[in-house]
Amino acid sequence: MNDPYYDPEQENRLRQAKTIIESLMSASDQDREEERGEEAASRWGQRDYRHYAEEPAAMEKAEARMVRELAEYLEQKNDIGRRTNKGSIVVENAEEAKKINEKVREHLQMLGGLDTKEKTVTWDERKLWTPAEKSNPEMYSDVDKRMEVRFTRDVDKFREGERAQIIGPAPKVEGNGKDVLLRGEDQTIGELPLDRADSFEIFERQSLTVAKGEQLRIDRDSTHVRNTSSYSYLSGGRDHRLDRVEFRQNEISRVDGMVPDTTDVNMGAKEAMLGRGEFSYAYAITPDQLPDHKLGKVFLASEKLRDDDRLKAYAEKYPDAIHELKMTDQERESGFSKPERHAHLKREGEAKTVSLSQEERDYSYLDCPDHLREHLRPPFEQDRDDERDRDGPEMEI
């Protein structure tokens, strides 16, 4: 080229700047209408989307993949046709664990990993509430929970040792505040003496549905005593003995069979009696519920869990068992709602154009369509700043 002012390096940088704008434009043209308007702009400014991997919609898609992978892993069989794999998803709190446990069980049932014959056991679990919690009527507002009161002292309408079902809070007949209504064993309606928290205990009805193939966790150390008998050829009769079966907290085992006409199940070489609140599902657990023994796979539901001391100790002991959550690009992109996707594109555009020279910014700004110009600073604003620097600061008269 004969042009003495032609600079191939500068031409290449300008071409790169144009490519940036074209990529932004092609990615957002289909949703251009949602990007316009002050409401959308203000919404973008209120939230930081740089950590968009933690967005709920994207996390739900990654969580579904993680649940599916765990269910498929637990359903696999060894050479002799037995399912021996154990694994869990580590989550941050018990509420999230309860939700994921239900999802994994649904997948296992669809894959045939759980037997169709189920056994449901129920028990009453004592709530370890403080006196202040027992005196708060809002603690009894969840009517879906089957809670009951057991009185340890005589109170109005109820006697020591009597039980009553909690109906729920209701406005007081006289004065402000709320009363907690009860229904006694003889259908007597009364009020819970909130000012006498030392006179009653609260229990909640719990249930656990178990099938062959279930993965259960031992919630606390316990000893199960079994009265067994066997035929003796020496005495010609049956010999009776007591067998003690020990279970250790956080131990995770698989249910290998059900004992007919009882609440007992076979877990490996042990026979366990359900219905005492000692067992729970072990598909999703919290870091403090990790067992001492090795699990085949331990999925991390959140990157925040890396800093947990209990999980660090487990990872040092069994490093090959840890599987961190890695979201695919498709999951991350599909996790955006339209405004969130535009916000991410906007921040991505700012990050890409921040290193451009002023000439490249001018070129990009003039070549950019209206709905993307906010990514770049207009050239006339730079000129205005240059004039202000030459003339000194503006003064109000």
The structural domain count of the chain equals: 3
Quick one: pLDDT at residue 378?
Answer: 47
- Domain co-membership, 241 together with 286: yes
- Domain co-membership, 161 together with 257: no
- Domain co-membership, 63 together with 201: no
Kindly state whether residue 60 falls inside one of the protein's structural domains.
yes
| pTM for this predicted structure | 0.62
- Domain co-membership, 83 together with 178: no
Kindly state whether residue 394 falls inside one of the protein's structural domains.
no
| CA–CA separation, 82 and 86 (whole Å) | 12
Quick one: pLDDT at residue 383?
Answer: 46
Kindly state whether residue 143 falls inside one of the protein's structural domains.
yes
Q: For position 174, which CATH number holds?
A: 2.30.30
- Domain co-membership, 175 together with 39: no
Q: Which of 156, 178, 206 corresponds to the end of one domain?
A: 206
- Domain co-membership, 313 together with 340: no
Enumerate long-range contacts of 35-44, CB under 8 Å, 24 or more apart.
35/342, 35/371, 36/371, 40/339, 40/342, 43/339, 43/343, 44/339, 44/342, 44/343, 44/346
Q: Please give, one letter per residue, the 3-state secondary structure of 24-79.
A: HHHHHHHHHHHHCCHHHHHHHHHCCCCCHHHCHHHHHHHHHHHHHHHHHHHHCCCC
- Domain co-membership, 84 together with 177: no
- Domain co-membership, 269 together with 244: yes
Quick one: pLDDT at residue 130?
Answer: 93
Mean pLDDT by runs of 10 across the 397 residues of the chain is: 62 68 55 44 37 51 86 86 89 92 93 90 91 92 86 91 90 77 89 92 92 92 72 69 80 89 81 83 95 92 87 91 74 55 54 47 50 49 48 45
Kindly state whether residue 167 falls inside one of the protein's structural domains.
yes
Q: Which of 161, 191, 206 corresponds to the end of one domain?
A: 206
Q: Any bridge partners for residue 183, and if so which?
A: 165, 189
- Domain co-membership, 289 together with 218: yes
Number of H helices, E strands in the chain: 11, 18
- Domain co-membership, 224 together with 310: yes
Kindly state whether residue 282 falls inside one of the protein's structural domains.
yes
* Domain, as residue range, for 87: 56-117+212-324
Kindly state whether residue 397 falls inside one of the protein's structural domains.
no
Kindly state whether residue 72 falls inside one of the protein's structural domains.
yes
Kindly state whether residue 395 falls inside one of the protein's structural domains.
no
Q: Which of 182, 206, 230 corresponds to the end of one domain?
A: 206
Quick one: pLDDT at residue 230?
Answer: 65
- DSSP per position, 229-266: EEE-TTTSSEEEEEEEEEE-TT-EEE--EE-TTSSEEE
Q: Which amino acid type is present at position 352?
A: K
- Domain co-membership, 232 together with 86: yes
| Helix extents (H) in the chain | 8-28, 32-35, 38-46, 56-75, 94-111, 131-134, 309-317, 329-334, 338-353, 358-367, 379-391
- Domain co-membership, 199 together with 269: no
